[in-house]
Structure 1
Amino acid sequence: MKDDHSPSPVCDCRESPSDRSIPEQPCEAALATYRRALTQGSLPAAAAPPCLLSLHLLIADQDSPGHLIPVPPETASFAALAPIEKAIVEQRRTLRSARATLAAFEGLYAEVHRPERPALTRLSGEAVISKALDAGVSGCRAEVRTAHPGGGRPAHVLAESLPRDLNNLRRGIRQRTLYQHTVRSDRTTLAYIEQVTAEGAEIRTLPEVMDRFIVFDRDLAFIPYSDVPHTALRVRHPALVRFLVRHFDEAWSRAVPVRPERA
């Protein structure tokens, strides 16, 4: 056995970000030192890079104090990997426990909030619909999208909408509305459009608008409830609201702006 007291090369292992004691890849010093240990049978403890010790590839020589002997990697893996595997098992157990606990709270949350804010709510009667729209307007934070099929809108509907829309615009809410081309010849609707566009509203028209709906921000919408008069459906389901937003934005890109003064 050769007793080599020469210093070991400097260890430059790339350390693992998850465990600073275990190298991500072996360095040249570790490979060279382990080869020397295999060839010579043992090495002085001072000649061993720290990474070989953390991997349990070199252990104390009981017959020669101050020296280390090489260990086969398969054998070393039991000592090197056992703490890591134990930690993984513990983390998985913690993960399962956390999921189970959160699932219990999720059920409680759904139980409490389901009756408060259902995804779909049928609204019956003009007064009820009007109050729901007022609540949507007051809670709006960024943008209102509306689409109206058919020709000009009734004067009493526009008169009811105008104060609500102007108040929204004046507090910085963006408002975009789609009509059909036929409104360009309707004086009542044009008068309304002139007032809201003066406050920043954007109005465009298409040859045909298929659906009537209104969307507040991206989390609340109102659509007709089938063909039943004076009924509406309040929509809070994220996927349905997202669908209406995409439908509107695609139609908006094809629509023509309305300029009331020209009309």
Structure 2
Amino acid sequence: MANRHKPTHPHAVTELCEEGGRLYANALRTGRIAREEVESAPCLMEFALLHPDPDDASWLRPVSPTVALAQRLNPIEREITAHRRLSIELTDVFEPFMALSAQTTAPTHAITVLEGGDRINAALNLATAQCQTEVLTIQPSNRISERNLTHGLERDRPLTERGVKIRTLYQHTARYSQEKLAYVAQLSNGKVEYRTIDELVERLIICDETVAFIPTRDDQQVALELRHPGLVRYLIKVFEFIWGRAIPLSAGAPYETAPDGITNIQHSIAKLLVEGHVDEAIARRLGMNVRTCRAHIAKLATALGSGSRAQLGYLIAESGILKQDAAQ
């Protein structure tokens, strides 16, 4: 009985107990909550999610979720910044020795830096000309990749003509790109497979199990040619992991409305919003322009009854739609 008013249930703020979550939500909805009501969840005061009402000590007022989140993220971000600074300092220390090692060790050409579009295309042309079995590609949508479709067609058609298989991953938005669909139509000869997924991180090209190409800048003017067997095998595993979760381009549209009234693309946007990404980053990761992304965010807000961007993240978490995605 002595502990009735001070129950102990220690847990991290990332594992807010069910009672604490319920009471905090009630406090946010009503603007305040009686002090006696939160005795069953002392974690709310321990985590500074509630503070005394200045007008009446018997009541508590909720701290905005945005403010509470910022208070916890700031020290994490400071720590990340410190680690980045340390990594730069370490790189500066070891860079002279790496240069010395490069001069005294026989070159293996395991990693080659390619600068400029001409040099990158020349290396790609050589690698595809030597390819005998299969080419794996990840092609996120952006203006640069759209302009490069003609170069890709000139490179890919000879591959398929000599029996090399090609597997390509696009974002779902490629299904609505006339340029991409026209490109696919010209290579649909049974040797080429296309699949789409909601988001892709970066471009990747792998020829056989021998060489891989990845960009190092957003403008795709600097790339790495990787011929280290371990790195190439790792990138193939990454590709196969994504491929297994992607949808064949020939399948139905993946943006159909789910039973909760929210489309699949809006589910993807909701996940990225909760993770803290801004509109521009979400649009880039999902392969759409910012205006389209914001239109989807507006529809998502309407579906969840959100009156503000700050409230939208909270309503996404409360709605449980992200848990539905995880279950699927």
TM-score range, shorter chain: 0.5 to 0.7
Give TM-score scaled by structure 2 length: 0.43
Q: Identity over the aligned pairs, expressed in percent? A: 38
Residue ranges of structure 1 left out of the alignment (5+ in a row)? 1-110
Q: 1:193 aligns with which of 173, 176, 184?
A: 184
Structure showing greater radius of gyration is 1
What are the Cα deviations for residues 96-145 of structure 1, in whole angstroms up to 9, with x where unaligned? Answer: xxxxxxxxxxxxxxx9x943x41101000000000000000011111000
What are the Cα deviations for residues 152-188 of structure 1, in whole angstroms up to 9, with x where unaligned? Answer: 7655411111021011011010100000000100001
TM alignment of 1:106-125, pairs within 5 A:
114-115=106-107, 117-125=108-116
User: 2:155 maps to which residue?
Assistant: 164
Q: 2:250 aligns with which of 244, 253, 259?
A: 259
Contact 1:141 1:217 in 2 (8 A): yes
Partner of 1:121, secondary structure, is strand
1:173 and 2:145 aligned: no
Contact 1:193 1:260 in 2 (8 A): no
Q: 2:193 aligns with which of 184, 196, 202?
A: 202
Tell me the distance in 2 between the aligned counterparts of 1:238 and 1:247: 14
Tell me the distance in 1 between the aligned counterparts of 2:234 and 2:174: 26
TM alignment of 1:85-234, pairs within 5 A:
114-115=106-107, 117-150=108-141, 154-198=145-189, 200-227=191-218, 229-234=220-225
Q: 1:124 to 1:220 in 2, by over 3 A?
A: same
Amino acid at match of 1:238: P
User: 2:227 maps to which residue?
Assistant: 236
More helix by share: 2
- What is the RMSD of the two structures over their aligned residues, measured on CA atoms? 2.9
Q: 1:134 to 1:228 in 2, by over 3 A?
A: same
Amino acid at match of 2:122: K
Structure 1 residue runs of 4 or more that deviate by more than 4 Å after TM superposition: 151-155, 226-229, 260-263
Q: 1:247 aligns with which of 230, 238, 250?
A: 238
Q: 1:148 to 1:155 in 2, by over 3 A?
A: closer
Partner of 2:128, secondary structure, is helix
Contact 1:151 1:183 in 2 (8 A): no
Contact 2:164 2:191 in 1 (8 A): no
Tell me the distance in 2 between the aligned counterparts of 1:243 and 1:164: 25
Aligned length: 153
Cα distance, 1:210 vs structure 2 = 1.6
Contact 1:121 1:235 in 2 (8 A): yes
Amino acid at match of 1:249: E
Tell me the distance in 2 between the aligned counterparts of 1:185 and 1:218: 32
Give TM-score scaled by structure 1 length: 0.53
Amino acid at match of 2:175: R
